[in-house]
Structure 1
Amino acid sequence: MSSEIKNLDPKVVWEHFYDLTQIPRPSKHEDAIQEFMVNFGEGLGLETLKDAAGNVLIRKPATPGMENRKGVIFQGHLDMVPQKNSDTKHDFTKDPIDAYIDGDWVTAKGTTLGADNGIGAAAAMAVLSSNDLEHGPVEALFTAEEETGMAGAFGLQPNWVKGDILLNLDSEDEGELYVGCAGGIDASVQFEYDQLIVPKDFEPFKLAITGLKGGHSGMDIILGLANANKLMVRFLRYATRELDVRLANIDGGSLRNAIPREAFAEIVVPTEQVEALKAKVSEFESTYKSEFSKKEPNLSFKIEGCDKPDSLIDEYTQDNLIDAVYACPNGVIRMSDDMEGLVETSSNLASVKSVNGVIKVNMLIRSSVETAKMELSERIESLFELADAEVILSGSYPGWKPNLDSPILKEMQEVYKTNWGKIPEIRAIHAGLECGLLGSHYPNWDMISFGPTIRSPHSPDEKVNIETVSKFWEYLKETLKHIPAK
């Protein structure tokens, strides 16, 4: 039962995290969680505000003797990525998350857990609700729609937040301090197609690529995981050229910031080529399994009979779609020259979906170098325009440039060394932390990001390490004691 997590230490954090799991909060369905957070702040008798962008701000005065310290802002987002396994029945707009303890980890049954960024939000709530902590003036800024374009961060108004130091609680490796992040931009592609009659003597089949790990399109892109859309289109390119296969519809991936784990396609094939088609599916599955033997041990590519589709995608659009998606850059494009092991630029071919005469392809391009981000997005734009598709580039947001002379960085390094005997690693992250956008509204802020260890965010395998949550909480409390004076 989900409630077992409330007994974990530190209870003050896990109890708040449990409360968050009980309130549906997928991106763009955040009214309930925002109302909950407003009621939470007001229930503590604290100044609580909500802005037009859906951000919630809660202020707590300094404890006695700490009034002269610089103001600290705890920042995290309230929404979560709604991903589930295909065999899991779950409505993210209505159902709570069923979290449970699995050895050293907390995870969820068949869905994303929402530790990204629920654990960070729960830690901020714990500071607000605790009466036995030492701290200067603090604010908790809970932002909206982070996972679908950072609308809350985009909409944050200057002069609304009063603090001097931003502690972003949205990182996913304990013992590391993040001082920079990538920017991003969305590429939305649309093909329009004619719906044609299915020829006689063609038999219908459904193709299914399943069992992939998926994951965060920023954090996990370096792992070299398989992309279900790329695998599906790779097969379709062969099948439409060599076996007279025709495409009726395609449905792969879902969210722009999640590496696609599954892809499905309905096709028809001439009766005399059915056996050749089945043999080729088996051959391609063996090829895929061989290529991704270490990365994707549960990869599956299957074919089965299905009902006759209502119509087919016209061949001109079918071929343009397949060729463009096949050629589209995906994965790591370039590694950073400045920080070893850091991805500089990447692309995630997140979703390909056809319905009612329209095919939509969505991608998220990331880079810590603004010019590289724009070059890749324009290259992708050119590719799909050559395929006679409409392309819209939108939602561009800046990265966060590292400041290795940051006063809060130096203070937190010293606190960690004093308490745990070593200096934490300094990192930049290939993901869209809100710090870049928030810093554009408040350029005076001294910012840092840290958190407990989370694995496989944005996928149903998401889990958070229990021991690191306790360490993260202790580190947060010790940091508050050592915030410098104004």
Structure 2
Amino acid sequence: MENKVINFFEEITKIPHCSGSEKQLSDYLVVFARERGLSVHQDKSLNVIIKKAGSKGRENETPVILQGHMDMVCIAKKGVDIDFSKDPIPYYIDGDYIKSKGTSLGADNGIAVAMIMAILDGDYSHPPIEALITTDEEVGLLGAANVDGSLFKGKTLINLDSEEEGVFLASCAGGIRNTIKLPIETKDIKKKKAYKVTISGLMGGHSGMEIHKYRASALKLLGRLLSEIASVRIFDVTAGNAANSIADNATVYIATNTFIDEDIEKMQKIFSEEYKVNDPDIKISFEEVPVPDVTWSKITTKKFINALLVLPHGVLSMNTQMEGLVDTSTNLSSAKVVDDHIVITGTHRSIVETKKMALVKRYVAVAELIGAQVATFGGYPGWEYVNESNIRDVFTKVYEKMTGEKAVISAIHAGLECGILKRNIGDIDMISLGPNIYDVHSPKEKLSISSTNRVFELLINVLDNMHSKL
């Protein structure tokens, strides 16, 4: 039996669509719509809006908005040879799961796009559909921020960017990002040894979905490790990946007058003991490299190490009204050399706007202390819970009728586009759902096929039943 959703998802994996590079997929969606005689609009941000008339007898109902994002976080394991700008995702099927060979899969949120395409391509009972597929969600909800709300008539929005079947989201945190840009002062050196030091094996993961699991941050470990090495001078560093991923790797090049074997062994034991449950495969490795003529100065090296030690990372507070929900967190995302500066990036999330902005002030304070520049960007509002929701009621009733299980209504610490779309479109009723996806934003990401099929069936049944309630 043909599985249109999975087939469309497989097609999506063949088209490059990293955040910031979605044009090929955006154009593909435009062609998809035109080939089916559907109304389509592509805006300057490459967001795509596709409209389909209601099924027979339902043409005059109020439209429903189906929404997901087309971009993905592109991450590959060390040693995996892939060019995300042109190569397909090397997916494979392992039993019930779709996985990728050493890269992130892009089920977040390609599976939403695939579901929407299947509905637009299919013959189902539904009200008029307004499909909104946005860009640059993973780098600050930038596409959603530029959506023209006047193009929509729908008063109900179904977001398909959640990752746990049976859990329906009705609220999410807001977020914002900071970069600290530290000038690099260099000095001629007379060091005897130089090393490439790598921290690897960390689990990483989504900084909203997995931050409460207290996994290690490669950047925080790096700061602690470097602080143990005597007379160290850095001459290059690359750590972390995407801004919304927990840093799972770090590579630093250092010069010193001493052997570092004992320091590495000491910190390996410490990290292995501290994270033996939450992140058990941490590995520190090193190799000698040629001694450079120039390194960062003692002052620049010290400022960078101190910044890693001082900048916050992880869960800062839990929500007092909903058990198990993170209230406020921050993710020390990445550090890299750009031209003559070290750029450190952090991502902050909170349900409370003032707590989110307090984290921005902490980054500003650290930047001032080390003589660095700081930038704030990518801010987006949270999505506040409302007591009454028709679409939530419909999903709850249909889900419980289909499964015999009680639906879970929850909130999420990760950012969703619902808050910013409500600001742009107006007072719309919203819900977020999705199939089981595990370890998103990491090379371990996997998508359950059976869960995808069940969630799609649920979506079809809800669209069929909406007229009786809305």
Relative to the length of structure 1, the TM-score reads 0.94
1:6 counterpart residue number: none
Aligned match for 1:282, one of 265, 289, 293: 265
Aligned match for 1:463, one of 425, 446, 454: 446
Aligned match for 2:337, one of 354, 371, 388: 354
* Alpha-carbon distance between aligned partners in 2 of 1:10 and 1:420, rounded to the nearest angstrom: 23
Farther-moved stretch of structure 1 (166-175 vs 294-303): 294-303
* Alpha-carbon distance between aligned partners in 2 of 1:127 and 1:137, rounded to the nearest angstrom: 11
1:320 counterpart residue number: 303
Deviation at 1:308, TM superposition (A): 2.5
- Aligned pairs for 1:174-253 (under 5 A) are 174-199=165-190, 201-239=191-229, 243-253=230-240
Query: Conserved in 2, the CA contact under 8 Å of 1:232 and 1:263?
Result: yes
The letter of the residue matching 2:171 is G
* Alpha-carbon distance between aligned partners in 1 of 2:429 and 2:95, rounded to the nearest angstrom: 37
The letter of the residue matching 2:282 is L
Query: Conserved in 2, the CA contact under 8 Å of 1:212 and 1:298?
Result: yes
1:283 partner SS? helix
Query: Conserved in 1, the CA contact under 8 Å of 2:148 and 2:425?
Result: no
- Aligned pairs for 1:252-263 (under 5 A) are 252-263=239-250
2:86 counterpart residue number: 94
1:170 aligns with 2:161: yes
Deviation at 1:68, TM superposition (A): 4.1
Aligned match for 1:41, one of 14, 33, 45: 33
CA 1:355–1:308 in 2, change beyond 3 Å: closer, same or farther?
A: farther
1:161 aligns with 2:152: yes
1:91 partner SS? coil
Query: Across the two proteins, how many residue pairs are aligned to each other?
Result: 469
Deviation at 1:103, TM superposition (A): 2.7
2:142 counterpart residue number: 151
Deviation at 1:316, TM superposition (A): 1.2
The letter of the residue matching 1:207 is V
1:120 partner SS? helix
Deviation at 1:245, TM superposition (A): 1.7
1:467 partner SS? helix
CA 1:257–1:10 in 2, change beyond 3 Å: closer, same or farther?
A: farther
User: Deviations along 1:314-336, whole A, 9 cap, x unmatched?
Assistant: 11121112112201110101111
Deviation at 1:184, TM superposition (A): 0.6
* Alpha-carbon distance between aligned partners in 2 of 1:111 and 1:185, rounded to the nearest angstrom: 26
Query: Conserved in 1, the CA contact under 8 Å of 2:241 and 2:247?
Result: yes
* Alpha-carbon distance between aligned partners in 1 of 2:346 and 2:236, rounded to the nearest angstrom: 19
- Aligned pairs for 1:299-378 (under 5 A) are 299-378=282-361
* Alpha-carbon distance between aligned partners in 2 of 1:178 and 1:354, rounded to the nearest angstrom: 38
* Alpha-carbon distance between aligned partners in 1 of 2:407 and 2:2, rounded to the nearest angstrom: 22
Query: Conserved in 2, the CA contact under 8 Å of 1:115 and 1:454?
Result: yes
1:472 counterpart residue number: 455
* Alpha-carbon distance between aligned partners in 1 of 2:293 and 2:34, rounded to the nearest angstrom: 55
Deviation at 1:10, TM superposition (A): 6.5
Query: Conserved in 1, the CA contact under 8 Å of 2:418 and 2:430?
Result: yes
Query: Conserved in 1, the CA contact under 8 Å of 2:228 and 2:263?
Result: no
The letter of the residue matching 2:25 is I
The letter of the residue matching 1:371 is T
1:423 counterpart residue number: 406
The letter of the residue matching 1:335 is M
* Alpha-carbon distance between aligned partners in 2 of 1:309 and 1:447, rounded to the nearest angstrom: 57
The letter of the residue matching 2:138 is E
Aligned match for 1:25, one of 17, 20, 24: 17
* Alpha-carbon distance between aligned partners in 1 of 2:83 and 2:188, rounded to the nearest angstrom: 35
Gaps of 5+ in 1: 1-8
* Alpha-carbon distance between aligned partners in 1 of 2:293 and 2:428, rounded to the nearest angstrom: 57
* Alpha-carbon distance between aligned partners in 1 of 2:418 and 2:215, rounded to the nearest angstrom: 27
Deviation at 1:248, TM superposition (A): 1.4
Deviation at 1:384, TM superposition (A): 2.3
1:439 aligns with 2:422: yes
CA 1:467–1:310 in 2, change beyond 3 Å: closer, same or farther?
A: farther
Query: Conserved in 2, the CA contact under 8 Å of 1:179 and 1:404?
Result: no
1:55 counterpart residue number: 47
* Alpha-carbon distance between aligned partners in 2 of 1:361 and 1:184, rounded to the nearest angstrom: 17
Deviation at 1:212, TM superposition (A): 0.6
* Alpha-carbon distance between aligned partners in 2 of 1:172 and 1:163, rounded to the nearest angstrom: 24
Deviation at 1:61, TM superposition (A): 0.5
1:297 counterpart residue number: 280
Query: Conserved in 1, the CA contact under 8 Å of 2:313 and 2:330?
Result: yes
* Alpha-carbon distance between aligned partners in 1 of 2:91 and 2:405, rounded to the nearest angstrom: 33
* Alpha-carbon distance between aligned partners in 2 of 1:151 and 1:389, rounded to the nearest angstrom: 26
1:83 counterpart residue number: 75
- Identical counterparts, % of pairs: 38
* Alpha-carbon distance between aligned partners in 1 of 2:165 and 2:309, rounded to the nearest angstrom: 38
Query: Conserved in 2, the CA contact under 8 Å of 1:251 and 1:353?
Result: yes
1:124 partner SS? helix
Deviation at 1:67, TM superposition (A): 2.7
Query: Conserved in 2, the CA contact under 8 Å of 1:254 and 1:351?
Result: yes
Query: Conserved in 1, the CA contact under 8 Å of 2:197 and 2:286?
Result: yes
Farther-moved stretch of structure 1 (297-306 vs 209-218): 297-306
Query: Conserved in 2, the CA contact under 8 Å of 1:173 and 1:453?
Result: yes
Query: Conserved in 2, the CA contact under 8 Å of 1:10 and 1:470?
Result: no
* Alpha-carbon distance between aligned partners in 2 of 1:459 and 1:10, rounded to the nearest angstrom: 29
Query: Conserved in 1, the CA contact under 8 Å of 2:149 and 2:426?
Result: no
Query: Conserved in 2, the CA contact under 8 Å of 1:346 and 1:367?
Result: yes
1:484 partner SS? helix
* Alpha-carbon distance between aligned partners in 1 of 2:339 and 2:295, rounded to the nearest angstrom: 11
